[in-house]
Structure 1
Amino acid sequence: MEVGTKNPVLDLEALRVSISRTPSVLVILSTITAYIVKVFDKKPASFEVKKFLESKRFYLDFLASVGPALNSALTKKSWLSTNYVTDWWEEYVYLSSRDSLMINSNYFGLGTERIPSNRGTSRIAGYVWSILKWRKDALIDGKVPPIKLQKLVPLCPMQYKRAFGTNRAPGKDKDNLVYNEQSTHIAVFHKNALEFAIDSVQKSEPSEADKINHLPAGTALSREKWASLRDVLKSDAQNEASLAKIENALFHVWLDDEPANVVKPASMVEFARRCLHGSGQNVWFDKCFSVIASSNGHIGQNVEHTWADGAVMLHITEEVQVLEHLMIEYNPETGTILGKDVKSNAKMDILKWNSLEKTLEQISKELSTIADEITNLSLSQLSFSKFGKNEIKKWRLSPDAICQMAFQLTNFKIRNKLSMTYEAALARLFKDGRTETIRSCTTASAAFVKEMLDKNSDNQKRRNALKAAVTNHSELTKHAMVGEAVDRHLFALCVASRGLNMEHEFLNKYKKC
């Protein structure tokens, strides 16, 4: 489906240029000292002295040997790049991974419980129109103001530029993120065929020659296997052209023939699984994002992780839903879109394929492995309705920090131990920033857990412990957001040590931690 010409994103790029560069590379001594404190912070009263002394010996040797040289290399890299972490982060955390994208990397999102139409084809038509409207307003015409932290500080918009027309192409040793700025079409999956229109799936059925069957399952394989199969596909000119249409699309739409009822927790989990992994044979996991449309109007998404972090996709989704609410009117009885009949000039086509039998046969041999990965996944959903963020804000506490403390308490109740915990903080205050690590398990959170489980404690002591833990967590979050945390610095040191062949046991232990 053709949707318009792509113009340069001038306003977006101008905003990106105005964002501050990544702060200077941290002093290596302060980073490593802070790291050691954080590692042993989770057991302040009884940490293992032997392990601490061993770690101290490693980090002192690191500081006295290869550490300064590696940090100097990072400093030089920071002079030559807008962000000394992001390119390595995308390459080594995402693109170099050889695991399947399904479940391991891609993530899912669900729409709202209340939907404006339960007529599936009408709802997805309105939703896709809203996506394209947002894209035009924000990325082409520059009419959408940038998102700002506390409504004051603009965040780097780099990731938004890659929201459309981006595909993760598999490679033997490393994948490539391919961004097609000239993309003007959408790939629509329905049953066993690929099309370029929202409504045409009800008008005709594909011929046997045009069916792709379980070809999308190739994207659920390990990256080496999919790269090999993809090379075979591209050896045929017709198949290469059809594959290019899939990979160059603005985004994908999967028209699901099954209804979804996300009001009930059990049904919400079922629809969440359809968005996260589907059958393992229907979602094209390489694509920047795929809209999953149920037959009764519920919407979900499957999102490839390399091009952007979850907060970016969440923001786009919220904006799209607002546009749909304001600009699309559905008939309350039939669910169809109200308005004047407009003759569509959309170009529609079913992709053609030549001799897919051998490729499909190779993929068929892996379907049991894909099915096992899906079966081995445990996914649950908790509906908490006693109070929400508005109530927490009345306490003058951070809703996010409250949730993190709840995780710490729950984890201890289940496992009877404290665990090192990762939470992502946005690093988009700086140009091309992605995320930084918040280490949520701290002395303060441990004290809160202890107070909550102490039968001799009282509510006032527990409130005080909670407030102290939340305050400490909020401070950690601020440090992470302004470039004063330790993990991305240590990650960059690990990459530099590998590239310069300057390995050290301290960094090896950090990678395993």
Structure 2
Amino acid sequence: MAEAHAAVAFSLSVSHEGFNVNFDREVLNLIWLSGKRSWRKRGQRIYNNIRCGIYPGSLKGMTVSVATLSSAYYAGYDPSCGLIPLVQKFMPAGDVGKGLSCAVVGVGIWGGTIFTARTLLRLLFNYKGWMYEERGKGRSVSLATKMWLAAVKILSGWNHPMLYSFQGSLPSLPLPSLDDTMTRYLRSVRPLRDDADYARLEKLAKEFNQGIGNKLQRYLVLKTWWATNYVSDWWEEYVYLRGRSPIMVNSNFYGLDAILAHPTKIQAARAANVTHAALLFRRAIERQDLEPIMIQGLVPLCSWQYERVFNTTRIPGIQTDRLQHLDDSTWIAVYHKGRYYSMPTYYRNRLMEPAELQVMFERILADTSVPSKGEEKLAALTAWERVHWAKTRREFFSKGVNRSSLDSIEKSAFVLVLDDEEYHFDPNDSSKLNHFAQRMLHGNGYDRWFDKSFTIVIAKNGRMGFNAEHSWSDAAILAHMWEFVLAEDNFNGRSDAPILGHLWEHCLGEEMFTYGYDAQGNTNGSVEVELPQPKKLKWEIPTEALEAIEYASNCALVLLNDVDLKLVMFNHYGKGFMKTCRVSPDAFIQMALQLAYFRDAGKFNLTYEASMTRLFKEGRTETVRPCTIESCAWVRSMDDQSKTGEQRIALLRDACRRHQLGYQNAMVGSGIDRHLFCLYVISKYLEIDSPFLKEVLSEPWRLSTSQTPHGQTTKLDLVKHPDCISAGGGFGPVADDGYGVSYIIAGEDVLFFHVSSKKSSPETDSERFGQNIVKALDDIKSMFSSLKKNGA
């Protein structure tokens, strides 16, 4: 009864003696602070939306505009050209009416100017000619681009932009013409088909283009008039949320620590600094203090994906999943030795300091209680097939204590795992880094909450990484946070795009540079208050649910045991040498992958490279097809003894130029695959069978590649601090008989490749393919070096 009494904040009883009121001041104070925080966040959100809505103008600028106009008018001048006297006719007489008239006209003129500036910015951002112009020594931009640059600087340079300042000025993703897409598609598959097969496919494409394709295109044109982005909503729903297979390995991706830096070996201290940094990043998103990513400091990328970084979970459904996003969450979910905890991150309406968070984590690590039945492997349900997970969740976790505990996980800011295992990096033992990557990709199948937007994993020896769900955003968003956290952590003696993105970059930077560790490896600072206890979650899991959990765990084990994941650290050269070859570093690496794949498989195959379309509102990704006519010609020349070094280099540069053009086309909305995907979705809605679309959409991507972005924050300078190099991250194989390759250009002299495939496939071997990548890169360098020795 004592516990029940303590839980009551307010009670009222009526008797013959009168009213009796009891209340707990502490609990009521907590309620008051919670409400105060909520209303303050709402007010801040409204204020920020107003500021973004009037960018590049400002409220200060509006005030100055009205004051200047009023002062001039009261001084006897009328800069409004008669507008103020006209408005004054509808206002009260006297000085009040005069003042109101000046204010109305001043706001109107200011508002018209801002509206014009925003409209002009939107028109200017539609110009993409600058992307196709070569830059560098001895090259100059065109007059049109110079004029465009000047206009953008003038219109967007009035005020410091907030995270969402440019959202109203970004253009919509353009819809390519059907003829252009057909032409580009046929060219992309020409090197993969023999003459007879290509003639058949060409006939199918022509029939589609002249027939049902026009009808589907008209519906898509209608969608571009109505929707903000004609691709993103369908991409999220049909590629991610409607997928019924397990998301572990098949969809989720991972990121690794800064492998050369190890700022502390104390698990609780590392967890505390990273948690604090992540939540400061969330605050920066909420307050829009985070600057939008700007290409060349001028052209903004769409920031809408940042909205769902935190407090977001993928909820399973029978036919389709859905994303649950909350405006706020004041706790994180923690997993340790099979037990789940709800750990508060705020105390008396303020974010806990790292030293306070370390105490909270230490309490969890010191807990000797045993997990409830089924609790240890509960997260295996999130690694299971989506239909089975949805049914189990609805039947056994929809009410009572199980629902309450599940809510504590799903509605948390994010999940953090205190792993009971150590991870290491040894340049002389690649198996340790391979193991590190494997654990971040899938763990043991039941110790990562795969539905959560991201799960941070802190190893027993202080190493860390993350696992991220893919539907809510692309990897670049999470990579930014990870890079930021790394930078902040490592450079005060302490050391997650994409993306892998913005979220991970921010947190890593904050952790390494700002918070720090003392000489013993603990967080800096002291604890001066009595902190609340982490809440161990309770479960009452029936026998049927226990059987489902065990079955899901066994299925996850089968899936993860089939993954062949190898990590290649290539330090023979990096971006520095590639620049001397006068080719794009990304194109350079993609050509090396083409050469490696041809030597590995003995043939060419359809290749996927992800590029972003965030130059447009709500843009996500588009596909670049690196396997081209030009790339195949160069690859064949490398084993053709009749070709000279000069000829091979000329062919390589032609292939790189073609690849760069394909990448540029994808970024400006002139890609191939998203257009065809949307046409296919419409054909399914209309119940129209298209042999052409069916064949195109069923083609397997046996080589799926992606570059992990970095350098999205100025906090991380790899030239000054080479030890802060992140190994990037990766993903599982896309095709049963193919490879998944993620790579990061980590500074001037280091490259990392994450190579995944399936052990069950006799055609693939990740170790062999990694060796072929190294040989391809070495052969390219030898090709250029030989030419330089000969004086060419």
Please indicate the TM-score interval, normalised by the length of the shorter structure: over 0.9
CA shift for structure 1 position 277:
0.6
1:479 matches 2:644: no
Q: Which segment is superposed worse, 338-347 or 159-168?
A: 338-347
For the structure 1 residues 491 and 346, does the alpha-carbon distance in structure 2 shift closer, same or farther, using more than 3 Å as the test? farther
Match of 1:358 in 2: 544
Does the 8 Å CA contact 1:401/1:473 hold for their aligned counterparts?
A: yes
Q: Of the candidates 162, 170, 176, which is equivalent to residue 19 of structure 1?
A: 170
SS in 1 for 2:465: strand
Q: Of the candidates 376, 401, 418, which is equivalent to residue 604 of structure 2?
A: 418
Does the 8 Å CA contact 2:405/2:539 hold for their aligned counterparts?
A: yes
Trace 1:204-215 onto structure 2 (pairs within 5 A). Answer: 204-209=367-372, 212-215=375-378
Match of 2:303 in 1: 157
Q: Give per-residue Cα distances to partners, 1:69-100, cap 9 Å, x unaligned.
A: 11010111111110001000011100111000
CA shift for structure 1 position 141:
2.0
Q: Which segment is superposed worse, 407-416 or 53-62?
A: 53-62
What code does the residue aligned with 2:273 have?
A: G
Trace 1:16-95 onto structure 2 (pairs within 5 A). Answer: 16-23=167-174, 25-40=175-190, 42=191, 47-95=193-241
Q: Of the candidates 424, 448, 452, which is equivalent to residue 638 of structure 2?
A: 452
CA shift for structure 1 position 226:
0.4
1:227 matches 2:390: yes
Trace 1:118-157 onto structure 2 (pairs within 5 A). Answer: 118-137=265-284, 139-157=285-303
Does the 8 Å CA contact 2:338/2:371 hold for their aligned counterparts?
A: no
What code does the residue aligned with 2:177 have?
A: V
Match of 1:106 in 2: 252
TM-score, length-normalised on structure 1? 0.94
Does the 8 Å CA contact 1:192/1:211 hold for their aligned counterparts?
A: no
For the structure 1 residues 62 and 406, does the alpha-carbon distance in structure 2 shift closer, same or farther, using more than 3 Å as the test? same
Match of 2:615 in 1: 429
1:380 matches 2:380: no
SS in 2 for 1:272: helix
Q: Give per-residue Cα distances to partners, 1:210-233, cap 9 Å, x unaligned.
A: 871211111111000100111123
For the structure 1 residues 199 and 469, does the alpha-carbon distance in structure 2 shift closer, same or farther, using more than 3 Å as the test? same
SS in 1 for 2:275: helix
Match of 1:115 in 2: 262
Q: Of the candidates 379, 391, 395, which is equivalent to residue 577 of structure 2?
A: 391
CA shift for structure 1 position 66:
1.4
1:283 matches 2:448: yes
User: Whose RCO is larger (CA < 8 A, sep 6+)?
Assistant: 1
Q: Gapped runs of 5+ residues in structure 2?
A: 1-32, 50-161, 344-360, 485-506, 700-792
1:243 matches 2:406: yes
Whole-angstrom distance in 1 between the partners of 2:673 and 2:466 = 30
CA shift for structure 1 position 459:
2.7
Does the 8 Å CA contact 1:83/1:432 hold for their aligned counterparts?
A: yes
Does the 8 Å CA contact 1:210/1:350 hold for their aligned counterparts?
A: no
Whole-angstrom distance in 2 between the partners of 1:357 and 1:148 = 54
SS in 1 for 2:167: helix
Match of 2:513 in 1: 326
What code does the residue aligned with 1:371 have?
A: L
What code does the residue aligned with 2:675 have?
A: H
Whole-angstrom distance in 1 between the partners of 2:289 and 2:531 = 26
For the structure 1 residues 305 and 344, does the alpha-carbon distance in structure 2 shift closer, same or farther, using more than 3 Å as the test? farther
Q: Give per-residue Cα distances to partners, 1:380-402, cap 9 Å, x unaligned.
A: 11111111123322333222111
CA shift for structure 1 position 342:
4.4
Q: Give per-residue Cα distances to partners, 1:293-321, cap 9 Å, x unaligned.
A: 10111111100000111111111211221
SS in 2 for 1:16: coil
For the structure 1 residues 56 and 458, does the alpha-carbon distance in structure 2 shift closer, same or farther, using more than 3 Å as the test? closer
Q: Which segment is superposed worse, 27-36 or 55-64?
A: 55-64
Q: Give per-residue Cα distances to partners, 1:114-140, cap 9 Å, x unaligned.
A: 121111111111111111112212x12
SS in 1 for 2:198: helix
What code does the residue aligned with 2:173 have?
A: T
Does the 8 Å CA contact 1:408/1:449 hold for their aligned counterparts?
A: yes
Q: Give per-residue Cα distances to partners, 1:350-401, cap 9 Å, x unaligned.
A: 1112234431222213333221111111111111111112332233322211
Q: Give per-residue Cα distances to partners, 1:241-279, cap 9 Å, x unaligned.
A: 111111111110010011110234211111111111111
SS in 1 for 2:413: coil
Whole-angstrom distance in 2 between the partners of 1:505 and 1:144 = 47
SS in 2 for 1:468: helix
Whole-angstrom distance in 2 between the partners of 1:295 and 1:63 = 59
What code does the residue aligned with 2:569 have?
A: S
CA shift for structure 1 position 466:
1.9
CA shift for structure 1 position 456:
3.3
Whole-angstrom distance in 2 between the partners of 1:142 and 1:229 = 39
Whole-angstrom distance in 2 between the partners of 1:67 and 1:142 = 43
What code does the residue aligned with 2:477 have?
A: V
Does the 8 Å CA contact 2:315/2:451 hold for their aligned counterparts?
A: yes
Match of 2:629 in 1: 443
Whole-angstrom distance in 1 between the partners of 2:530 and 2:319 = 44
Does the 8 Å CA contact 1:106/1:276 hold for their aligned counterparts?
A: yes
- Give the alignment's Cα RMSD to 1 decimal: 2.0
Whole-angstrom distance in 1 between the partners of 2:612 and 2:510 = 26
Structure 1 stretches of 4+ moved >6 Å? none
CA shift for structure 1 position 207:
4.9
Whole-angstrom distance in 1 between the partners of 2:640 and 2:580 = 27
1:253 matches 2:403: no
Whole-angstrom distance in 2 between the partners of 1:448 and 1:58 = 29
Whole-angstrom distance in 1 between the partners of 2:685 and 2:530 = 54
For the structure 1 residues 235 and 160, does the alpha-carbon distance in structure 2 shift closer, same or farther, using more than 3 Å as the test? closer
Whole-angstrom distance in 1 between the partners of 2:436 and 2:198 = 46
Q: Give per-residue Cα distances to partners, 1:394-414, cap 9 Å, x unaligned.
A: 333222111111110001111
CA shift for structure 1 position 18:
2.5
For the structure 1 residues 58 and 79, does the alpha-carbon distance in structure 2 shift closer, same or farther, using more than 3 Å as the test? same
Q: Which segment is superposed worse, 78-87 or 49-58?
A: 49-58
Q: Of the candidates 326, 334, 348, which is equivalent to residue 188 of structure 1?
A: 334
Whole-angstrom distance in 2 between the partners of 1:385 and 1:165 = 39
Whole-angstrom distance in 2 between the partners of 1:81 and 1:216 = 36
Match of 1:461 in 2: 647
For the structure 1 residues 157 and 283, does the alpha-carbon distance in structure 2 shift closer, same or farther, using more than 3 Å as the test? same
1:168 matches 2:314: yes
Whole-angstrom distance in 1 between the partners of 2:530 and 2:566 = 42
For the structure 1 residues 434 and 167, does the alpha-carbon distance in structure 2 shift closer, same or farther, using more than 3 Å as the test? same
Q: Which segment is superposed worse, 208-217 or 227-236?
A: 208-217
Count of equivalent residues = 505
Does the 8 Å CA contact 1:83/1:431 hold for their aligned counterparts?
A: yes
- Identical aligned residues as a percent: 34
Whole-angstrom distance in 2 between the partners of 1:54 and 1:342 = 76
Bigger-Rg structure (1/2): 2
Does the 8 Å CA contact 2:293/2:300 hold for their aligned counterparts?
A: yes
For the structure 1 residues 127 and 346, does the alpha-carbon distance in structure 2 shift closer, same or farther, using more than 3 Å as the test? farther
Whole-angstrom distance in 2 between the partners of 1:209 and 1:377 = 30
TM-score, length-normalised on structure 2? 0.62
